[in-house]
Amino acid sequence: MRMTFIGRGAPVRGHHIIRLAALTLCLLAPAAGPEAQRLNKLGADLLYRGDYDRALESFERSRLLHHQEGEFRFEAERWVNIGAIHFYRGRYLEAWTVYDRAAGLASAHSAEPWSAGVLQLVEVNRAALLQKLGRDQDALDLYTRLRRAGALPDDAERAQMLSNLGALYRRLGDPYKALESEQSALDIFRRRRDVDGQLGAMKNMAIARAMDFGDLKAAARLFSEVLSMAQAASNRREVMQARLYLGETLFRAGDRAGAAREWTQALLLSQALQAPEEQWKALYGLGRARLSYALFRQAAEVIESSRAGLGLSPLRGGFLAGKRDVYDALIEGAPGVDSRLDWLERSRGHSGVRLDRLRALLPRDAALLVYWLGRSKAAVLCITPAGASWVELPKGVWLPDLPLPPRLIVVPDGSLAAAAFDALTLPDGRNVVERHQTWQLPSTAYLRAPTQSRPRRWPWQRQLLGVGDPQVRTVLPGDENWTRLPRAAAELETVARLLPGRADLFKGSQAGKDRLQSASAYPVLHLATHAAADYENPARSRILFAGPEYLFLRDVAGLDLHGVELVTLSACQTEAGAPARGDAPLSLGRAFLQAGAGSVVGTLWAVRDQAAATMMHRFYRELSGGAAPAAALRTAKLAMLRSGAPRQDWAAFVLSGDGGAPLTPYFSWSFLLCCAAAAAATLAIAADRLRRRRSRAAARSLPRSPATPRTPSPE
């Protein structure tokens, strides 16, 4: 990836070690006051030498002078330069915040001719930052918009874009297109005599040669040439980058000693330059060369320190992408199950999960299966209230050879999350669903204490928010050709009839996504509509609503679903997404869980309208009888399986979250009517008894007539 930088002096470029992307700073001379201009040039020179503290001070002083003079264009450009410093030091959230300031300043002066150029500059740098954080598709979307807008008219900017796109194409799986893009960029850089640009393009080409085509000799020659050029230019950052990549190439060629030598030098430079990205990579490389678990730990500590700096920002989402190899080394070499659990959870972005706490939270008849898929091995950590064991799995076997309890809580890893776990075949030929009740968690951090019994609620209180059967029309270019779901409206009516509480249903033109703003007031949210998973850019996975309009996965984070006990996404592919090493796919269902929902039912693939309606009828019938969601879903699946329904009709449905806790119970109207009838009958009987007692009492209280002497009858 390449970051644009404004100033005067030589450009500076930085890279990623295994999934590399070129990052270049293009320096343009400002037309500001002499002192501000001098400070900006000094900052650029200091940045070139890797003296980030003094460079930051110079840029900040230059920015302040521009601000005092009312030179808002140059103030905005200095903000961009300051963002570059934060970027290089791994302070990604600070960099993003600074870019926002630059964009805000340019937007506030949108009538000025310079505003559009500064905004484009900010977008280029944002794309580079997204690329660094593993958000490749988002970065590609930004680059594509910039190209379509004609935002980069000159050769220098076109070369930057081609180099950045080359890095992206390679990471997205197209090395041929990557080499073509890098060669085009290199031709422009050579024509312009831009040495820094040449270094970046050459390094990206060498990475593709080594990693994608296996031509290690050609890659080593290119990296050695880049190293010599960087040393001649006294560019320490470029020297550090070249040594990192040369070390990786030598290691793959079997030269451990040579790799360790290069990585040691790269580590020293990364520490001197305070470059955390290169630091953890050098530590990880040395750990492999020296077979040192301690060095792997140090690499992970650097990674987690950088990640902690992102706080709760959405930028955290892709941060661990490309870093799983470090955690795999720690998981595989961990001394015990407690340590393995810790590193498994850290690889998913969680920390502080303790084995003893998990065991205490588990029901007595349940086991927690935490999976790990390495590059060449697979294993599962099986946790029960009685203990925990680490079991390596033979190829194609997904259940450990251990006595397993009736209920299984599964934490899948990578591509395993896309498998229909209930449909896996046991040694006896039966499906898992026929022997076990299952549900899934994205991480063990989602395991909750058993829910205490909730007090019953009255039938006039809200229970169900149902939204579905919207009008259909293609919204996005090239999108699916949606068709009306003939049974969606009937499905909502059926669910409302089965659940005893109050139901608010919104169908057709009323099925807008704004209905979800009040979802937290309902224990159950049911969506019966169309959905699609975007495997290239999970943020664009979406659910169709009336309008027509979409609720994108990235929009789900803005919903407040705390208090919602169950979300049912009766739509296609709501649990599907691109597999991620070390983590479950980022799916719509997972997004609803992260937004606060207690549990979520979704689908792994497209499901027929009739099959979905049948499944929902059986599922909610069990729920209304007091069954927990996992038990209700299993019963519904078994009913469909035994009725002869094909596997694709029932196996697609997956439950995530708290599957063992029944929903809040409600009194039904029929129950209340029966109670009222019984009460009326009781009152009637009591009234009748009271009337009788009063009658008898009244009879006893009447005065008796005097006795009449008996007269003998005449003979």
Instruction: Please indicate, yes or no, if residue 332 is contained in any of the structural domains.
Output: no
Q: Which residues contact 206 (CB under 8 A, 6 or more apart)?
A: 218, 219, 222, 223, 226, 245, 249
Q: Tell me how far apart the alpha carbons of residues 196 and 430 are, in angstroms, rounded to a whole number.
A: 62
Instruction: Please indicate, yes or no, if residue 456 is contained in any of the structural domains.
Output: no
Number of domains in the chain: 3
Note whether 470 and 408 are same-domain residues.
no
Mean pLDDT over 322-331 rounds to 90
**Residue 112: other Cβ atoms inside 10 A:** 13
**Residue 647: other Cβ atoms inside 10 A:** 13
User: 95: domain CATH number?
Assistant: 1.25.40.10
Q: Which of 642, 657, 672 is the last residue of a domain?
A: 657
Note whether 501 and 403 are same-domain residues.
no
Check residue 386 and report its DSSP letter: T
Q: Tell me how far apart the alpha carbons of residues 292 and 645 are, in angstroms, rounded to a whole number.
A: 53
Q: CA nearest 203: which of 19, 469, 395?
A: 19
The CA–CA distances, whole Å, from 658 to 449, 509, 600 equal 9, 33, 8
DSSP bridge pairs for 550: 544
Q: Which of 384, 414, 446 is the last residue of a domain?
A: 446
Phi, psi of 35 (to 5 degrees): -70, -45
Percent of the chain with pLDDT over 70: 87
Q: In the structure encoding, which two tokens stand for residue 84, read together? A: 């570059």
Instruction: Please indicate, yes or no, if residue 108 is contained in any of the structural domains.
Output: yes
pLDDT tens readout for residues 442-460: 999 999 877 767 788 888 9
Note whether 61 and 170 are same-domain residues.
yes
- Which amino acid does the sequence have at 178? A
Q: pTM for this one?
A: 0.79
Please report the pLDDT score of residue 25 as a whole number: 37
Please report the pLDDT score of residue 637 as a whole number: 97
| R_g of the chain computed on alpha carbons | 34
In the predicted model, is pLDDT for residue 484 greater than 70? yes
Note whether 209 and 123 are same-domain residues.
yes
Mean pLDDT over 465-473 rounds to 87
Note whether 472 and 430 are same-domain residues.
no
pLDDT band at 706 (very low <50, low <70, confident <90, very high): low
Instruction: Please indicate, yes or no, if residue 307 is contained in any of the structural domains.
Output: no
Q: What ranges make up the beta strands (E) of 508-628?
A: 524-528, 531-532, 542-545, 549-552, 566-570, 599-603
Dihedral sign, Cα of residue 538, residue 544, residue 545, residue 547: positive
What is the C-alpha end-to-end distance of the chain, expressed in Å? 141
Please report the pLDDT score of residue 31 as a whole number: 45
Q: 54-63, 377-386, 503-512, 535-544: lowest mean pLDDT where? A: 535-544
Higher pLDDT, 135 or 376: 376
How high is the mean pLDDT of the chain?
84
Instruction: Please indicate, yes or no, if residue 316 is contained in any of the structural domains.
Output: no
Please report the pLDDT score of residue 604 as a whole number: 93
Say which residue the tokens 């009271």 belong to: 690
Instruction: Please indicate, yes or no, if residue 599 is contained in any of the structural domains.
Output: yes
Please report the pLDDT score of residue 328 as a whole number: 93
pLDDT band at 24 (very low <50, low <70, confident <90, very high): very low
Note whether 476 and 543 are same-domain residues.
yes
Note whether 12 and 110 are same-domain residues.
yes
Q: 59-73, 373-387, 668-682: lowest mean pLDDT where? A: 668-682
Q: 204-213, 281-290, 487-496: lowest mean pLDDT where? A: 204-213
The CA–CA distances, whole Å, from 388 to 259, 368, 385, 410 equal 39, 9, 8, 14
Note whether 3 and 46 are same-domain residues.
yes
Could you give the angle at the alpha carbon of 471 between the alpha carbons of 469 and 472, nearest 5°? 105
- Which amino acid does the sequence have at 87? F
Higher pLDDT, 16 or 584: 584
Q: CA nearest 28: which of 60, 6, 47?
A: 6
Say which residue the tokens 């200095």 belong to: 78
**Distance of alpha carbon 46 from the chain centroid:** 38
Note whether 471 and 541 are same-domain residues.
yes
Instruction: Please indicate, yes or no, if residue 304 is contained in any of the structural domains.
Output: no
Q: Which of 416, 446, 476 is the last residue of a domain?
A: 446
pLDDT tens readout for residues 485-535: 888 999 999 999 999 999 999 999 899 999 999 999 999 999 999 998 888
HSE (side-chain half, CA atoms, 13 Å) at 151: 21
Note whether 403 and 519 are same-domain residues.
no
Instruction: Please indicate, yes or no, if residue 165 is contained in any of the structural domains.
Output: yes
Q: 162-171, 415-424, 616-625: lowest mean pLDDT where? A: 162-171
In the predicted model, is pLDDT for residue 19 greater than 60? no
Residues of the domain holding 30: 1-213
- Which amino acid does the sequence have at 130? L
Higher pLDDT, 624 or 209: 624
**Distance of alpha carbon 268 from the chain centroid:** 34
Note whether 165 and 207 are same-domain residues.
yes
Mean pLDDT over 182-190 rounds to 88
DSSP bridge pairs for 603: 653
Which range among 111-120, 533-542, 647-656 has the greatest average pLDDT?
A: 647-656
Q: In the structure encoding, which two tokens stand for residue 76, read together? A: 């905005």
C-beta separation of 304 from 283 below 8 A: no
The DSSP H or E segment spanning 260 is helix 256-272
**Residue 34: other Cβ atoms inside 10 A:** 7
Note whether 427 and 487 are same-domain residues.
no
